[in-house]
Amino acid sequence: MQVAGHLLAVQAQDQRGARLAVRARSRARSAADVDDALTRARSVVVTWLNRGTLHLVRAEDYWWLHPLTTPQLFTGNARRLAQEGVPPDDAERGVAVIERSLTAEGPLTRAQLGERIARTGVRTQGQAIVHLLVLASLRGIAVRGPMIGREHAYALVRDWLGEPPGPRGAAVFDRDRALAELAARYLASHGPAGERDLAKWAGLPLGDARRGLAAITGRLADRDDGLAGLAGRHGTGSGDCPLPPPRLLGAYDPVLLGWASREPIVGPHGKLVAINGLFRPFAMVAGRAVGTWGMPGGQVALTPFAPLPEADAAALAADAAQVERFLHGLAGPADG
């Protein structure tokens, strides 16, 4: 999928938001196109990467993004499992059940895996099942693969993605090469940006961001603002590239998550768009947030921050109709 290839990783803990991120950046005609890429084509998967949240990535990028961005997530996962009342021995048993079940039965939903884990006496209540699935994903056992109805199912990595690239199917991971690829791909879609932007977006130490940027120094454009950008490229964050037309963007849209600061987009309305780690769907005009929106009753309802010029209001109304057609009733709740 071209959008995942361009952005490298699209935050996807909100399924509708991830679909809408694709809609806003492609010619995808419906949310079913995204589901098809996940289910039939297997060209993209969803898993925990970068900042420890779910991301939509191309299948081929999984093999290097996973070992690059997940090692630092194990400590937080162990802490969360302990908070949910799952001791280490139980966590091991739960992950073993996940692997056996996916091996024997193929893709299964969270509820189905929860039932199988619970039978062994391992706690699955609350967020325990989520963090057991996170652990299985961090270990490279499971990914979110196909859609089963409206549920996003988990699949065994080796079954769903096949053999990893490398000699005789053995994944060969070169950290320095991966950091260089990360820096180049990030700047291609987010540049110009700084080292702190890259570090925050990828969830990596600042030193790693610097190493990645240093590795591609010869490909960077000369700039006077202290930011990095690829020579001959203008990314989403460039101040001199054309602004998109008025557009409705979904929850957790990449335009709010790609840089250390979202002030240029949200301005004084930051707490109306993003608060306590929750990012609401919002409307953007001339590169700035102008309101939030929802879909009560299946129809878009826009709440502008201030009265909108007639032309902008009309453009957003037209885009709202396109959003409704795109979703085709697939506007489900956020999925943790």
Kindly state whether residue 151 falls inside one of the protein's structural domains.
Answer: yes
Kindly state whether residue 333 falls inside one of the protein's structural domains.
Answer: no
pLDDT, tens only, 157-197: 999 999 887 665 556 689 999 999 999 999 999 989 999 99
How far CA 172 is from CA of 38, 104, 161, 216, 236, in Å, comes to 25, 28, 16, 21, 32
Strands 151-156 and 247-249: unpaired
Query: What does the block give as tokens for 300?
Result: 């878009």
Same domain? For 206 and 89 the reply is no
Is pLDDT above 80 for 29? Answer: yes
pLDDT, tens only, 54-72: 999 999 999 999 999 999 9
Q: What is the CATH number of the domain that holds 223?
A: 1.10.10
Which of residues 1 and 127 earns the better pLDDT score? 127
| pLDDT computed for residue 231 by the predictor | 76
Q: Is the dihedral of CA 108, 114, 118, 123 positive or negative?
A: positive
- For residues 237-248, average pLDDT: 74
Same domain? For 15 and 135 the reply is yes
What is the CB-side half-sphere exposure of residue 29 using CA atoms within 13 A?
A: 0
Same domain? For 6 and 145 the reply is yes
Kindly state whether residue 322 falls inside one of the protein's structural domains.
Answer: yes
Say what percent of the chain tops pLDDT 70: 92
Kindly state whether residue 264 falls inside one of the protein's structural domains.
Answer: yes
- For residues 271-291, average pLDDT: 95
| pLDDT computed for residue 107 by the predictor | 98
Same domain? For 96 and 201 the reply is no
Domain span at residue 221? 175-241
Same domain? For 91 and 196 the reply is no
Q: Are 136 and 128 in contact (CB under 8 A)?
A: no
Q: Where are the alpha helices (DSSP H) in the chain?
A: 2-7, 15-24, 31-39, 59-69, 74-83, 88-105, 110-118, 128-138, 157-160, 175-190, 195-202, 206-215, 263-266, 270-273, 310-327
Kindly state whether residue 81 falls inside one of the protein's structural domains.
Answer: yes
Residue ending a domain, among 219, 241, 263, is: 241
Same domain? For 73 and 122 the reply is yes
Same domain? For 234 and 251 the reply is no
Average pLDDT for the chain: 91
Residue ending a domain, among 142, 169, 196, is: 169
What is the CB-side half-sphere exposure of residue 15 using CA atoms within 13 A?
A: 23
Q: Which range, of 117-121, 294-298, 326-330, averages the lowest pLDDT?
A: 326-330
Kindly state whether residue 85 falls inside one of the protein's structural domains.
Answer: yes
Kindly state whether residue 336 falls inside one of the protein's structural domains.
Answer: no
What H or E segment, with its residue span, contains residue 301? strand 301-304
Strands 278-279 and 247-249: unpaired
Rounded CA-CA distance 233/192 in Å is 9
Q: ω before 192 within 30° of 0 (cis)?
A: yes
Structurally, the chain folds into a number of domains equal to: 3
Q: Are 230 and 174 in contact (CB under 8 A)?
A: no
Residue ending a domain, among 154, 169, 184, is: 169
| pLDDT computed for residue 235 by the predictor | 44
Same domain? For 153 and 135 the reply is yes
Same domain? For 152 and 228 the reply is no
Q: Is 18 exposed, middle or buried (0-12, 13-18, 19+ CB in 10 A)?
A: buried
Same domain? For 231 and 254 the reply is no
Confidence of residue 272 (pLDDT cuts 50, 70, 90): very high
Same domain? For 16 and 147 the reply is yes
